[in-house]
Amino acid sequence: MRVVLTQATRGTRWVHAAAWLLIAAAVVLRFLHLTDDFPNHSPWAVDQAKFTDEGWYSDAAIRHALTGHWYLRGDFNPAAAVPVWPAQLAVVFHFTGVSLRAARALSVAFSVATLVLVWLLVRRYAAVRPAATATLCVLLAAVSPFAYAFSRLATLESSMIFQFWLLMWLAPVVAPRRAPALLLMPPLIVAMLLTKTTAIVFLPAIFWLTWSALGRSRTGLLRALLTTAALPALWFAAYALFLYRLGYGADFAYFFDLNDMPPIDWPRAPALLLALLREGLWVDRVVYPLSAVVLAAALTRRRALWRNPLFTASWIALATQALFLFTRQDDAGPRYLLGMVIPLVLVVGLAVDTLTSPRLRALACIAVSAAVATDAAALISFQRDRSHQLLDAGRSIQQIVDANPAQHRLILGNSASEISLITGVPGLNDYFGTEELAPKLLEYRPGWYLAWSGPDPDNAAAFAPFRLEEAARFRVFDNADRSTLILYKLLPRANTTGR
């Protein structure tokens, strides 16, 4: 018997060692080839963040690095409402200069730091095999191809998700201590909201862990609401008032008008719900169905799972995100589901932790192995099918701009900020901004216009004082609507003849 136990122990150690080797390999992969394109031909290739959001939400940091000022009057200035990510980038750019690789590396670093928080949280809440369950959860999160793809974009999500799990880790530690909870958690919650305003959907999960740490008493309920809702609301209102006093109120209001929730089309509600359920497969084709099995079990035979505060909080986070996505209807790209990766992993991992039946544990082992193998295969395929068309296009655009010193270097377009992030050539948004395009064109006089598949017909009147002369076109990405990026010279008509 002693020999059998020793062999079993050695086998367990080998499994743990193999898991951590896979985790390490997945982490390293996230940092490699950061200037490559978003994975083409992936299920999430329709997401537009790969050529818009990266630049838009980095713009303030780019401008600050290039000019010393973060703000451009009349243009799209989202940093007024979500200043944390550009502030973080500005620190990085202070040392690296404007750099797509550095911006994406910061996003990856946040995603890796989140894995550390996941390990610490699961170690705290897993009841039977804390170390093994924590390793399992980190492994599933680390090899997720969905998380791999979107954590490598310089967008708001990775920083926001890190802050959410930091708060989840802090909540049970500081909640029982009145002063630390009231002084520390509200500003951190506001920082999360000022990273990405839709992080508000995570507040119920933070509240649940906070209240659970306070014993779910009536007094604890009031303290939890004060810590996670009332005080953060006051802090956020104070920030908004401060911003209006500084003169950035129009940009703050414009951001929220732009992201206003559309009215729900109730006749289409069943179809929208079915679409949302299908979109869960974007996150993971194995872990997502497994979570449905776990939910069914937790609602019927294994109700004890709900006694685990982290298990319940993870389902709360999934439910509030799903509700948000449902209200967004057709206006939600795959990246909006990134926050679901870790809650899905946690509900599966914590459920596996409680299994005592050898048969069920064997089935769980097979399912988890299938998830890891499927995800690892996807990561390998991403490495095999790498491309860098957008980077090449950006460098070519920079060369063209540099070769025409008489032409104003400013580039207009909805992907102009993305090119700015790649090249350091300044950009101007043609689609969003507190001013209409026509006055912006006359005020800033951009020398170049960057368009996907050709000029937008809706902008014809604004371009009337200018002549567009095609300078180059580039084949980028695999989307029929976003495959050809065209660079035009913008020439004032007064200085040219003909069109």
- CA dihedral defined by 155, 160, 162, 166, rounded to 10 degrees? 170
How far, in Å, CA of 338 to CA of 317, rounded?
A: 12
CA atoms within 13 A on the CB side of 113: 16
Where among 384, 401, 426 does a domain terminate? 384
62 with 112, same domain? Answer: no
Q: For the segment 375-393, what is each residue's pLDDT rounded down to a tens digit?
A: 999 999 999 999 999 999 9
Q: For the segment 108-153, what is each residue's pLDDT rounded down to a tens digit?
A: 999 999 999 999 999 999 999 999 999 999 999 999 999 999 999 9
- Would you say residue 41 lies in a domain? no
Q: Which value, in Å, is the radius of gyration of the alpha carbons in the chain?
A: 25
Q: Which token pair is 200?
A: 């508000």
17 with 61, same domain? Answer: no
Where among 384, 399, 424 does a domain terminate? 384
- Would you say residue 42 lies in a domain? no
Q: What percent of the chain has pLDDT over 70?
A: 96
Instruction: Say how far residue 304 (Cα) sits from the centre of its chain.
Output: 33
76 with 137, same domain? Answer: no
Per-position b or e across 144-167, b if 16+ CB within 10 A of its CB: bbbbbbbbbbbbbbbbbbbbbbbb
**Mean pLDDT for the stretch of residues 10-38:** 93
Where among 325, 356, 384 does a domain terminate? 384
204 with 111, same domain? Answer: yes
Helix pair angle (100-125, 2-31), 10° resolution = 150
471 phi, psi to nearest 5 deg: -105, -35
368 with 416, same domain? Answer: no
120 with 160, same domain? Answer: yes
How far, in Å, CA of 211 to CA of 225, rounded?
A: 8
**Mean pLDDT for the stretch of residues 481-490:** 88
- For residue 480, the model assigns a pLDDT of 64
337 with 408, same domain? Answer: no
- Would you say residue 91 lies in a domain? no
Strand order in the sheet with 466-479: 427-428, 411-412, 448-452, 482-492, 466-479
292 with 413, same domain? Answer: no
pTM score:
0.95
pLDDT at 8 over 60: no
418 with 483, same domain? Answer: yes
- For residue 261, the model assigns a pLDDT of 82
Q: Which residue has the tokens 């990246």?
A: 335
Q: What is the DSSP string of 52-109?
A: THHHHTTHHHHHHHHHS----TTS--GGGT--HHHHHHHHHHHHH-S-HHHHHHHHHH
- Closest by alpha carbon to 117, among 173, 65, 76? 173
Q: For the segment 149-200, what is each residue's pLDDT rounded down to a tens digit?
A: 999 999 999 999 999 999 999 999 999 998 989 999 999 999 999 999 999 9
- For residue 9, the model assigns a pLDDT of 64
Q: What is the DSSP string of 117-143?
A: HHHHHHHHH-SS-HHHHHHHHHHHHHS
Classify residue 427 as exposed, middle or buried by CB count within 10 Å of its CB (0-12, 13-18, 19+). buried
- For residue 497, the model assigns a pLDDT of 41
Pure H helices in 229-357: 231-246, 249-258, 269-283, 287-299, 309-328, 341-353
- Would you say residue 99 lies in a domain? no
394 with 462, same domain? Answer: yes
- Would you say residue 302 lies in a domain? yes
- Would you say residue 397 lies in a domain? yes
- For residue 483, the model assigns a pLDDT of 77
350 with 276, same domain? Answer: yes
Helix (H) or strand (E) holding 484, with range, is: strand 482-492
pLDDT tier for residue 496 given thresholds of 50, 70 and 90? very low
- For residue 405, the model assigns a pLDDT of 96
286 with 430, same domain? Answer: no
- For residue 262, the model assigns a pLDDT of 80
- Would you say residue 96 lies in a domain? no
How far, in Å, CA of 227 to CA of 240, rounded?
A: 19
Domain limits at 446? 49-83+388-499
108 phi, psi to nearest 5 deg: -65, -40
Give the count of domains, the chain: 2
- For residue 498, the model assigns a pLDDT of 37
Lowest mean pLDDT among 54-63, 228-237, 263-272: 263-272
- Would you say residue 131 lies in a domain? yes
